[in-house]
Chain A
Amino acid sequence: MKKRDFSQLRSMWSEFRRIKFGMVGLALLGMFVVVVLIEPLIVPFPDAATRWRDMTYWVDNPRNAKPAWVNWFTSKDYAPSARIQSDNIVSGEFGAGKLYQAELPYKYSWDKAPSDVTLRMNVTGNARYEAEFIRPDGLSVTYQKTSQGAGTRDLRISVAQNLQPQLYQFAGKYEDPRVMQSTSASTINPLAVLFSQAEKGALLSGSKPLDGTYTVRVKVVAADATSSLNEAELIVAGGVQGVLGTDNMKRDLWSGLIAGTKWALIIGLLTSFIAVVVGVIYGVTSGYYGGFVDSLMNRIYEIFSSVPLLPILIVMSAVFKPSIWIMIAMMCIFFWVGPVRTVRSIALQIKEASYIEAARGLGASNRRILMRHMIPQLVPYAFASMALSVPGAIVYEASISLIGLGDATRVTWGQILQAAFSSGAVLQGIWWWVVPPGVAIALMGMTFAFIGFAMDTILNPKLKTR
Chain B
Amino acid sequence: MSEPILVAENLTKWFPVKRNLTQVMKGNRTWVRAVDRISFTINKGEIFGLVGESGCGKTTTGKLIMKLLEITDGTLEMKGENATHLRGAALEKYRREVQMIFQDPYSSMNPRFTVRDVLMEPLEIHKVGKDAKEREVWVREILDEVKLSPPDEFLVRHPHMLSGGQRQRAATARTLMLSPSIIVADEPVSMIDLSTRAEILHMMRQLQREMGLTYVYITHDLSTARYFTDRLAVMYLGKIIEMGVAGSVIDRTLHPYTKALIAAVCEPVSGKVNRIKDVPIKGEIPAATNIPPGCRFHPRCLYAVEECWQEEEPTLDDIGGGHLVACRRWAEIERLGAAARTSEASLGTRKSSFAPSA
Q: Taking the complex as a whole, does A directly touch B, i.e. does some CB pair lie under 8 Å apart?
A: yes
Chain A residues within 8 Å of B, Cβ to Cβ: 1, 3-4, 353-355, 357-365, 368, 372-373, 376-377, 459, 461-462, 466
Nearest A-chain residue to B67, judged by Cβ? A361
Roughly how many angstroms separate A353 CA and B104 CA in the complex, as a whole number?
Answer: 10
Asked whether, in the complex, the Cβ of A358 is within 8 Å of the Cβ of B125, the reply is no
Asked whether, in the complex, the Cβ of A361 is within 8 Å of the Cβ of B110, the reply is no
Nearest A-chain residue to B105, judged by Cβ? A354
**Chain A min CB distance to B6 (Å):** 16
B125 CB contacts on chain A under 8 angstroms: 359, 362-365, 368
Asked whether, in the complex, the Cβ of A355 is within 8 Å of the Cβ of B107, the reply is yes
Asked whether, in the complex, the Cβ of A357 is within 8 Å of the Cβ of B102, the reply is yes
Q: Can you pick out 26 interface pairs between chain A and chain B where the beta carbons lie within 8 Å of each other? A: A1-B132, A4-B132, A354-B103, A354-B104, A355-B108, A355-B109, A355-B110, A357-B68, A357-B102, A358-B102, A358-B109, A358-B174, A359-B121, A359-B125, A361-B66, A361-B68, A361-B100, A362-B95, A362-B121, A363-B122, A365-B125, A372-B121, A373-B110, A461-B112, A461-B160, A466-B161
**Supplied contacts A354-B103, A358-B102, 7 more A-B pairs, CB within 8 Å:** A353-B107, A358-B100, A359-B121, A361-B100, A362-B178, A363-B125, A377-B112
A1 CB contacts on chain B under 8 angstroms: 132
Tell me if B197 is interfacial: C-beta within 8 Å of chain A: no
B68 CB contacts on chain A under 8 angstroms: 357, 360-361
Nearest A-chain residue to B91, judged by Cβ? A363
A353 CB contacts on chain B under 8 angstroms: 107
Roughly how many angstroms separate A368 CA and B161 CA in the complex, as a whole number?
Answer: 25
Tell me if B99 is interfacial: C-beta within 8 Å of chain A: yes
Asked whether, in the complex, the Cβ of B160 is within 8 Å of the Cβ of A462, the reply is yes
CB neighbors of A among B152-182 (8 A) = 158, 160-161, 174, 178
**Chain A min CB distance to B117 (Å):** 9
Tell me if B318 is interfacial: C-beta within 8 Å of chain A: no
Nearest A-chain residue to B94, judged by Cβ? A363
Selected contact of B126 from candidates A355, A361, A363, CB within 8 Å: A363
B100 CB contacts on chain A under 8 angstroms: 358, 361
Nearest B-chain residue to A1, judged by Cβ? B132
Interface string of B216-239 (1 = CB under 8 A from A): 000000000000000000000000
Chain B residues within 8 Å of A, Cβ to Cβ: 66-68, 91-92, 95-96, 99-100, 102-104, 107-112, 121-122, 125-126, 132, 158, 160-161, 174, 178
**Chain B min CB distance to A135 (Å):** 76
Asked whether, in the complex, the Cβ of B95 is within 8 Å of the Cβ of A363, the reply is yes
Roughly how many angstroms separate A1 CA and B120 CA in the complex, as a whole number?
Answer: 11
Asked whether, in the complex, the Cβ of B91 is within 8 Å of the Cβ of A358, the reply is no
Roughly how many angstroms separate A19 CA and B159 CA in the complex, as a whole number?
Answer: 22
Roughly how many angstroms separate A269 CA and B123 CA in the complex, as a whole number?
Answer: 37
Roughly how many angstroms separate A466 CA and B157 CA in the complex, as a whole number?
Answer: 12
A459 CB contacts on chain B under 8 angstroms: 112
B99 CB contacts on chain A under 8 angstroms: 361-362
A365 CB contacts on chain B under 8 angstroms: 125
Nearest A-chain residue to B131, judged by Cβ? A1
Asked whether, in the complex, the Cβ of B96 is within 8 Å of the Cβ of A363, the reply is yes
**Chain B min CB distance to A292 (Å):** 15
In the A-B complex, the 8 residue pairs with the smallest Cβ-Cβ separation, listed nearest first, are: A363-B95, A354-B108, A354-B107, A358-B108, A362-B122, A355-B110, A361-B100, A354-B102
Roughly how many angstroms separate A368 CA and B123 CA in the complex, as a whole number?
Answer: 13
Nearest B-chain residue to A353, judged by Cβ? B107
**Chain B min CB distance to A24 (Å):** 25
**Chain A min CB distance to B216 (Å):** 13
Roughly how many angstroms separate A91 CA and B266 CA in the complex, as a whole number?
Answer: 118
B161 CB contacts on chain A under 8 angstroms: 466
A360 CB contacts on chain B under 8 angstroms: 68
**Chain A min CB distance to B356 (Å):** 31
Q: Assuming A363-B125, A368-B125, is B107 touching A461 (CB within 8 A)?
A: no
**Chain B min CB distance to A267 (Å):** 32
Roughly how many angstroms separate A429 CA and B44 CA in the complex, as a whole number?
Answer: 88
Roughly how many angstroms separate A358 CA and B161 CA in the complex, as a whole number?
Answer: 20
Roughly how many angstroms separate A380 CA and B107 CA in the complex, as a whole number?
Answer: 20
Roughly how many angstroms separate A462 CA and B161 CA in the complex, as a whole number?
Answer: 10
